[in-house]
Amino acid sequence: MSDEFELDTADLQRRMDGAISNLKTEFASLRTGRASGSMLEPVQVEAYGQMTPINQVGTVNVPEPRMVTINVWDKGLVGKVEKAIRESGLGINPQLNGTIIMLPIPELNEERRRELTKVAGSYAEHARVSIRNVRRDGMDQIKKAKADGMSEDDQKLWEGEVQDMTDTYIKKIDKALETKQEEIMQV
């Protein structure tokens, strides 16, 4: 029976890649003093009875380095989009001009930069927890196979493989966090 056990490392890797991808999306939402359309990606608007990403209710543009504009397609949603941006915690004060919402991006002061590095750190910690959860699932599969008759040598081999994969992904998270924190602190 132990010869039949094959840990689905591709599935574990796919799930760990998903955690890294999610982290990169969260990092993109952190503003670094420059305007970027991606900073609005996590903001959801209540539209047509469900939560909808901003880019599905209007066109997001970056006409200049310190300005993001959103041209809302439905006039009835302008107020809801403005409210969603105000409540998103991005620290941006939207200005209305008809169906166009202008978001002037203020300079980041030292205190705000430090706050953003802490937020980036918490995003990274969430990603690490996700990686560890995937690792735990893999280890549980190995323990189950051990109970079903897998040899101890095979168990150690598979556990080593899962741990190596985990360590690799944790290092990727740490590197991404370090890069993002440097970007945020850059004046």
Which domain CATH number covers 169? Answer: 1.10.132.20
User: Does 113 share its domain with 180?
Assistant: yes
Greater model confidence, 145 or 108: 145
**Mind listing the pLDDT tens digit for each residue in 15-74?**
999 999 999 888 877 766 667 777 787 788 988 889 888 888 999 998 887 888 999 998
Strand partners, 45: 52
Spatial separation of the C-alpha atoms in residues 154 and 145, rounded to whole Å? 10
Contact status, residue 45 vs residue 81, Cβ threshold 8 Å: yes
For 179, the domain range is 2-27+109-185
* Domain boundary, last residue among 84, 104, 124: 104
* Nearest CA-CA partner of 42 in 175, 180, 51, 128: 51
User: Does 171 share its domain with 119?
Assistant: yes
User: Does 79 share its domain with 47?
Assistant: yes
User: Does 131 share its domain with 180?
Assistant: yes
| pLDDT at position 165 | 95
* Domain boundary, last residue among 104, 135, 152: 104
Angle value at C-alpha 51, between 13 and 35, nearest 5 degrees: 75
User: Does 75 share its domain with 122?
Assistant: no
* Domain boundary, last residue among 86, 104, 122: 104
User: Does 130 share its domain with 161?
Assistant: yes
User: Does 15 share its domain with 60?
Assistant: no
User: Does 21 share its domain with 113?
Assistant: yes
* Nearest CA-CA partner of 120 in 42, 179, 66, 170: 179
Report the number of distinct structural domains present in the chain: 2
pLDDT band at 173; cut points 50, 70, 90: very high
pTM of the model: 0.67
User: Does 79 share its domain with 115?
Assistant: no
